A and B are shown apart, each in its own frame.
Chain A
Amino acid sequence: MSAVYEVEGLSVSVTSRRPEPVEGQSFDKLGTAVVDGLSFTLSPGECLALVGESGSGKSLTCMTPFGLSAGVASGSARLMGEELIGLSEPALRPLRARHAGFVFQQPLTALTPHLTIAAHLAEAAMQAGGPRPSRSELAAMLDRVGLDVPDERLDQFPHRLSGGQRQRVLIAMAIAHAPAVLVADEPTSALDAALRHDIMALLRRLQRESGMAMLLVSHDLAGVADHADRLLVMKHGRMMETGPARTLVSTPRSDYAKALVAATPRLDAPIAARPAVGGMLLEANAIRVSFPRPGWRSGRMLAVDGASLSVRAGECLALVGGSGSGKSTLARAIARLGPCDSGDVLWKDAPLPPRSAMRRGDRRGFQPVFQDPVASLDPRWSVAEIVGEPLAWLGQSPPFVSSDVETPDQRLDVTRHERIERVQAALAAVDLPPDFAIRRARELSGGQAQRVALARALVSEPDLLVLDEATSALDVLVAAQIVALLQRLQRERGLAILAITHDLALARLLAHRIAVMEAGRIVEEGWAEEVCASPAHPVTQRLVAASRGS
């Protein structure tokens, strides 16, 4: 069968503009090749997945030939026999409309907020010149992608739908005009673990039904391996390895593919012995949190509904659940970082004051690390300032910014010396070299930034870390390194961890116990291995199924 989409020797360069030091308005154009000589073909009914870390050029490979990225492409890309490279935007537009469908990573923002679902679907169905679909045809489109109560959904605005529901609408739109090629750029990475599998299965089913080809982009090797026919592993814009999906995952040949396979947490992987557990550290009882309803509606909605948990010294408890299950809200309420309506928290058998009455020193024992490492560091601060800040504000050394001058020299030297030492010790604990102290936060990569955030949390020598999806914004290889680091900290320091995650396989790797949350309640709790091996609650069963990828 002839190919519907053929790419030969595709290179993409991204032009970054840099103002010239000389006077005048001209700009120096710097072209950097980010995709280098890539070739592949797609036959009807076939699914090829491009896999690689962020920055590997996989999205640019997909989007640039269609004129949907800022890059400049060279080489050849033929869609239904027509050459795309070199076409102007007005010439590309009808080709996109007729032959291609696109699904993007962010379902939450990819729908126009002021247009109803029906308006979106009608526009998509007519993009290739088709007639305006009737209401029942629109409902049938939603039914086909497995959305419940399609007739009701048609009149809703996008924000009333969840991320998974919106991605189904976007898929319905992408296939409405029966395209020859469906391009799906990370279609599931913004979704819950439990949903990812459903959406991938849906894409695969629709693709088989209609015989269209699918070009899939993903950073998650294990996640796509079960759905794609062929994989193409990319690094720095070059192909590392390609082959049938199952073969590549079971017996990777290139070192890079081997590393990717090894770094993905799996539910059937063997687990190292977990460190011993001490006395009770943290006890939270019947926590309730509610928020005012958004927009013009009145009333409050319950985010956490009487959840209780406990963490012993040196123990790791993983709080697992889908997005919106209230797991982050619960952890924030316990750590006194967010609102808490009622319920009490015991820290080392003493009640923790409410958020408004917390003093700085009260926070020393438990420190948070957040999901987005880059956003949680001030870009202008140096690493030394960031890591050293808690020492000043948690009452362990005088504030070093303003009052240093007034302190007697002798004492100043001691405290400053001690502070530098403790910052260095914290950096060493997260495997960062000492010279990182002088770097600015904006110069750090995601993985380095998360290590700095960890060092900041560790510098006050806390007993408990509260990790809110601390690895989910990172690439799979980097995330694996952070997980290994956390395991080492558990062993060496007897650090207790309250880890919030949507990823059951990751939870099993780190945690002694797992608590599964849904709709603000803890629905299942038990030893990590037992919960994963024999899940009792339907929610847990779904999460287990999603992690297996079966």
Chain B
Amino acid sequence: MLTLILRRLATAIPTLFAVILLSFLLMRFAPGGPFDGERPLDPATRAALITAYGMDQPLPVQFTRYVGNLAQGDFGPSLVYRDFTVTQLVAKGLPVSLTLGALALLLALTLGVASGLAAAMKPGGRADRSIGLIATLLTVLPSFVTAPALVLVFALGLGWLPVSGWGEGAPRHLVLPVIALALPAAGAIAKLTRAGLTEVLGQDHVRAARARGLSPLRTLTRHALRPALVPVASYVGPTAAGLLTGAVVIETIFALPGLGRYFVQGALNRDYPLVLGVVTLYAALIILFNLLADLAYGWLDPRVRG
């Protein structure tokens, strides 16, 4: 297991480097720059700013310097929010996104695995068909449809929950965004769990367990569930990274001060260091969660470990 982790960390460095290089170049080749607002700055100020941030240097020099600073943990200053460094902005947005994403992930897993189990108990039965239909609906409905619908019913209609805002992390403010974020993932997880279980339930070791007189529920949970979750793990890995680093749409709809909003604003404003910082963080999380998914395979099915 240690060799696997070390091998992954070794390949993570060139991957991260490639991600940073590509996003750096893409940002620079996109038209416009951080100082091109609607109201043009006077040329002298603009030139001074460009010199101050070192953007008059050739690109390779800028890139080398950026990577050098990054290696020391310095994401650089924000070019638009001029009183803040990128690190400070991320430190403000990340906890919000993390709370939201972790709760949504937990909810999606609970809902998805439970309904997948219920569907697989009797394939073709009424529960299976209705769960299949709902799961399909949830996966195809984009969150900019489900989120306003939820707001309409539970906030505006019934008045049970606030319409939007962070409310300093009060549970009431979290309910709707977490549900809206979790539903599509829950649908996908339910479908994957059901498919995995139906496959595993046809295997010899399940038949052998049945032959020993185990109850259907025990056969399902003890002998079939873990191997059936392997496809779920490969889906949850990258999805978790996406949920945790900020769901742009949900954060915008509910006006939450998460990372996703900084990312979108950074991109629109050509705030190079902010975008690069968020992309680097996102890439690192993707790598981390794929590693966690691989470790999960090893737990779900020891044959993977060899």
Residues of A within 8 A of B (CB): 66, 68, 93-98, 100, 102, 104, 106, 109-115, 123-124, 127-128, 157, 159, 170, 173, 293-298
The answer on a CB contact under 8 Å between A109 and B304 is no
The answer on a CB contact under 8 Å between B303 and A104 is no
The minimal Cβ–Cβ distance linking B47 to chain A, given in whole angstroms, is 56
Q: 13 new A-B pairs (CB below 8 Å) besides A93-B214, A114-B299, A128-B213?
A: A97-B213, A109-B203, A109-B205, A110-B204, A115-B222, A127-B212, A127-B213, A159-B302, A295-B305, A296-B298, A296-B305, A297-B305, A298-B3
The minimal Cβ–Cβ distance linking B24 to chain A, given in whole angstroms, is 34
Would you call the interface of chain B mostly helix, strand, loop, or mixed? helix
Given contacts A68-B210, A102-B211, A113-B301, contact A296 B306 (CB under 8 A): yes
Q: How far is the CA of A93 from the CA of B214 in the complex (A)?
A: 7
Select A159's contact among B211, B299, B303, beta carbons within 8 Å: B303
Q: How far is the CA of A27 from the CA of B305 in the complex (A)?
A: 45
A residues in contact with B205, CB < 8 Å? 109-113
Number of interface residues of B (CB under 8 A): 28
Q: How far is the CA of A336 from the CA of B302 in the complex (A)?
A: 33
A residues in contact with B1, CB < 8 Å? 296
Taking each of A68, A109, A112, which has the highest tally of chain B beta carbons within 10 Å of its own beta carbon? Answer: A112
Q: How far is the CA of A296 from the CA of B302 in the complex (A)?
A: 10
Given contacts A106-B204, A296-B1, A296-B3, contact A113 B211 (CB under 8 A): no
Residues of B within 8 A of A (CB): 1, 3-4, 203-205, 207-215, 222-223, 226-227, 298-306
The answer on a CB contact under 8 Å between A113 and B213 is no
The answer on a CB contact under 8 Å between A113 and B298 is no
A residues in contact with B304, CB < 8 Å? 295-296
The answer on a CB contact under 8 Å between A109 and B212 is no
Chain B residue with Cβ nearest A156: B302
B residues in contact with A294, CB < 8 Å? 306
Q: How far is the CA of A96 from the CA of B4 in the complex (A)?
A: 44
B residues in contact with A98, CB < 8 Å? 213
Given contacts A104-B204, A109-B205, A110-B205, contact A124 B212 (CB under 8 A): yes
The minimal Cβ–Cβ distance linking B227 to chain A, given in whole angstroms, is 6
The answer on a CB contact under 8 Å between A93 and B213 is yes
Given contacts A113-B301, A114-B226, A159-B302, contact A123 B204 (CB under 8 A): no
A residues in contact with B299, CB < 8 Å? 114
The answer on a CB contact under 8 Å between A295 and B204 is no
A residues in contact with B306, CB < 8 Å? 293-297
A residues in contact with B203, CB < 8 Å? 109
The minimal Cβ–Cβ distance linking A179 to chain B, given in whole angstroms, is 10
Q: How far is the CA of A98 from the CA of B214 in the complex (A)?
A: 11
A-B contact pairs, 25 of them (CB 8 A): A66-B211, A68-B207, A93-B214, A93-B215, A96-B212, A97-B212, A97-B213, A104-B211, A109-B203, A110-B204, A111-B205, A113-B303, A114-B301, A115-B223, A123-B222, A127-B214, A128-B213, A170-B208, A293-B306, A294-B306, A295-B304, A295-B305, A296-B298, A297-B3, A297-B306
